[in-house]
Amino acid sequence: MSDIKKNIKFLPIGSVVLLKDASQNVMIIGYKITSEVNGKNKTFDYLGCPANIGIKSKGDYLGFNREQIKKIISFGYMDDEWIQFEKVIEND
């Protein structure tokens, strides 16, 4: 694994993960999403959708946190711009 991958705190857009207690892979499509859960606003680390399928309707996305990730299937695209952006979302 490259040094960049070892030191990242957020996975880049397009990364595919398997969540704990899930059977379908999820692709990361956004960050720091706030959603109402049980009548309270909750902020999640990631916004994802079904990998290889994408979003077909409004309910085809979910918020999840890094501790829910069981396995990283593939990494999205990372470059110098990504490294700068990660610093912004990390401090957000």
**Phi then psi dihedrals of residue 45, to 5 deg:** -60, -40
CATH number, domain containing residue 9? 2.40.10
pLDDT of residue 59: 81
- Domain interval for residue 16: 3-90
| pLDDT above 80 (res 2) | no
Lowest model confidence (mean pLDDT) among 16-20, 63-67, 77-81: 77-81
Average pLDDT of span 50-77: 91
pLDDT in tens, 3-52: 555 667 899 999 999 999 999 999 999 999 998 889 999 999 999 999 98
Q: What's the domain count of the chain?
A: 1
For residue 57, what pLDDT band results from cuts at 50, 70 and 90? confident
Q: What is the C-alpha radius of gyration for the chain, rounded to an integer number of angstroms? A: 13
